[in-house]
Structure 1
């Protein structure tokens, strides 16, 4: 085979490969959508608008040039039941690539049976996955005054669900916050603005790998 024939074939192969490379690059850089399904801890309850951890997350994504839009669908007082009711429409409307599930604390406050919370969390994970979205499950804990047995079993719901479904897990959303009274609002239940960066830092290690 002549040398110029070899060069021509190599050039032709390179030209044919270019559309595939461009498609791959386009897919890699395509913008993603992140949906946060949470309660008052994510809905900026008692905070200045734009100061909550979800808003800080949006800013961090921009700073790190991670092409991801953030939809905050959190509602104060939300339970896993309410989240299960609302999620299908949210998935249909926004088609998120990643769903952060930050629900469960209000279930405990309202005395919902643990089995019901567990079933609802599973339903939320199943819905998100059926919509081809990755899931970050945010773990919660409750004060010991609810009884040692209930408190312990409640905290185990989240790692158990994450392990069973092989989803990303934030072990405890209020890590480095729950034990610091100065980081709470006057109601002693909701973190203040000073705590929001810590909440984001607790979520970030579980979320970041899913946005690559």
Structure 2
């Protein structure tokens, strides 16, 4: 099964948006255990359809789900969803600077997840690596920490392609000292109860599963930024 994202959804908003919880929820929202406190922490989620919430109702995207979990834990977090369906790593590279400048303030953290559409189009893994490395360099230059969510190439593309592509994320994470969630669809891809009918994108329950696993990585990264 090809673990990649859809072509660009032209109905999706072009700019980043603040996550909210006003959409229909198929998975129960986390219940707050402690009051939200402390200064607001802004997380920019820059990615493709897996961040944008392809095929889901408003408020059901991955950034929405992560924000809800952070706030349920008492963390005053605001996630800005800059996911665009169909984006390749090259598209993300071209809009990174503009997106950061539009925020009006430097985010406390960037959640970066691109590369699925590179696999879909079978782009040269070197191109993907160069694009991701350039984005990580730019974020480092601006003094913005990053959490990287990785992608894996399906075996049917051959061992050479898969081996080269799959090495991109762990190697770049080590080089840039960035926390890595190795495969964003881990535990979800292939489970029909957690996927949309296309078999590629998670449904609301699948997003909740991903958020349960990614949120601790984001939470730890935010805690480390507050200590610096």
> Which bin holds the TM-score, normalised by the shorter protein?
0.7 to 0.9
Match of 2:43 among 34, 55, 64: 34
Match of 2:173 among 139, 145, 162: 162
Q: Whose Rg is larger?
A: 1
Aligned to 1:203: 214
Aligned to 1:80: 89
What is the TM-score normalised by the length of structure 1?
Answer: 0.83
Instruction: Flag the structure with more relative contact order, 1 or 2, with Cα contacts below 8 A and sequence separation at least 6.
Output: 2
Structure 1 moving runs of 4+ over 4 Å: none
Q: What is the correspondence of 1:22-171 to structure 2 with a 5 Å cutoff? A: 29-94=38-103, 95-171=106-182
Q: What is the correspondence of 1:155-194 to structure 2 with a 5 Å cutoff? A: 155-194=166-205
- Unaligned stretches of 5+ in structure 1? 1-27
The alignment of Structure 1 onto Structure 2 pairs a total of residues equal to 185
Q: Is the deviation greater in 34-43 or in 128-137?
A: 128-137
Q: For 1:53 and 1:106, locate their aligned partners in 2 and report how far apart those are by CA, in whole Å.
A: 18
Q: For 2:52 and 2:164, locate their aligned partners in 1 and report how far apart those are by CA, in whole Å.
A: 26
What's the CA shift for 1:31?
2.0
Which structure features the higher share of helix residues?
Answer: 1
Note the alpha carbon deviations across 1:166-199, whole angstroms, 9 max, x for none. Answer: 1110011111112323321111111111101111
What is the TM-score normalised by the length of structure 2?
Answer: 0.77
Note the alpha carbon deviations across 1:3-59, whole angstroms, 9 max, x for none. Answer: xxxxxxxxxxxxxxxxxxxxxxxxx94322100001001111011111122111121
- Unaligned stretches of 5+ in structure 2? 1-36, 224-228
